[in-house]
Amino acid sequence: MSSSNRLSPSSATPHNRQAASLSVEEMYFAYPNGHEVFHSFSLQAQPGEFISLLGPSGCGKTTLLNLLSGFQTPLSGTILINGAPVRPEMPELGYVFQSPQLFPWLSALDNVRFGLRMQAQLGVKAQKDKAMHYLSLVGLASSADKLPYQLSGGMQQRVSLARALALEPALLLMDEPFAALDAITRNNLNEETLRLWSELGQTVLFITHDIDEAIFLADRVVVLGVAPQGIHEEIGIDLPRPRANLHTRKLASFAEYRAALMGTISDVMTTP
């Protein structure tokens, strides 16, 4: 993992789609079996904002991302991305799952290239250049030809991140992407995520159940209550950027945010 804050040079210049706004208004959602997950849920994200969504297991985090990406449809209320109702095929959207979900028979490069094949205007050479550019950004240029089983869990998740970034999303939705990784790898990938975000400038919704990760990354931490309560509390994170593990996590204000959020999560768990 490189500690550099600069991107690798590449001939494949990123498109830099403008960051998207997100507006969720009065959303109601229940599963077909009647299980209610959101009653009257509203959330706004400004273009370029980094929001961490923090909440206990089962509170509806994955359901929320499935709704925001258009894979599930609210029973009422609206979800707008740049003012338009969300659809799963919107080019603005990028999605990183908890498990990397790579095709085991494709190399790292071809996994990143996979989504680009749908972009009909790109020839094979341009697809490969772009895929290589994003693999380089996540520090995996030298592993481009490796198959997923030859990569560590952290490297696989970086391929998955490169695959999402290669589509140059204006809104990046991440569902506990580093939860299965050891703490050191996770901290490194947190730093990497911020470096990429500061260069590419998307709007990011990052779901996690890890308080430190939520604080380290975000401009704003949104704490979800037990379903169908929705948002329990929001807290703005006013830590200086750029953030670095060795510096930021040691700040007194970081410890204060952690203490406050531990209290909030404890309230969430005890609120009937």
Ligand X SMILES: Nc1ncnc2c1ncn2[C@@H]1O[C@H](COP(=O)(O)OP(=O)(O)O)[C@@H](O)[C@H]1O
- Answer for which of 27, 37, 86, 211 binds ligand X (CB under 6 A) is 37
Residue range at the interface with Mg ion (CB under 5 A); choices 59-67, 148-156, 179-187, 218-226: 59-67
What does 37 interact with, of Mg ion, ligand X, none (CB < 5 to 8 A by kind)? ligand X
What does 188 interact with, of ligand X, Mg ion, none (CB < 5 to 8 A by kind)? none
Q: At what angle do helices 108-116 and 124-137 cross, to 10 degrees?
A: 120
Q: Does 15 bind ligand X (CB under 6 A)?
A: no
Alpha-carbon torsion 17, 104, 60, 222, what sign? Answer: negative
DSSP string, 239-266: --SS--HHHHTTSHHHHHHHHHHHHHHH
Q: Does 57 bind ligand X (CB under 6 A)?
A: yes
Q: Collapsing DSSP states into helix, strand and coil, what is residue 24?
A: strand
What does 117 interact with, of ligand X, Mg ion, none (CB < 5 to 8 A by kind)? none
Q: Does 232 bind ligand X (CB under 6 A)?
A: no
Q: Does 58 bind ligand X (CB under 6 A)?
A: yes
What mask of x and - would describe binding to ligand X in positions 59 to 78, judged by CB under 6 A? xxxxx---------------
* Nearest alpha-carbon partner for 202 in 5, 4, 19: 19
Q: Does 211 bind ligand X (CB under 6 A)?
A: no
Edge-to-edge, what's the strand order for the sheet holding 220-224?
Answer: 93-96, 171-175, 203-208, 50-54, 220-224, 231-236
How many Cβ atoms from other residues are within 10 Å of residue 6's Cβ?
8
Nearer to Mg ion, 61 or 232 (CB): 61
Q: Does 72 bind Mg ion (CB under 5 A)?
A: no
Q: Collapsing DSSP states into helix, strand and coil, what is residue 138?
A: coil
How far apart are the C-alpha atoms of 239 and 247, rounded to whole Å? 11
Q: Does 62 bind Mg ion (CB under 5 A)?
A: yes
Backbone conformation region of residue 50, classed left if phi is above 0, alpha if psi is from -120 to 50, else beta: beta
With CB under 6 A, what is the number of residues at the site for ligand X?
A: 13
- Shortest distance, position 53 Cβ to ligand X, whole Å: 9
Kindly list the residues in this chain that would bind ligand X in the complex (CB under 6 A).
31, 33, 35, 37, 55, 57-63, 227
Kindly list the residues in this chain that would bind Mg ion in the complex (CB under 5 A).
61-62
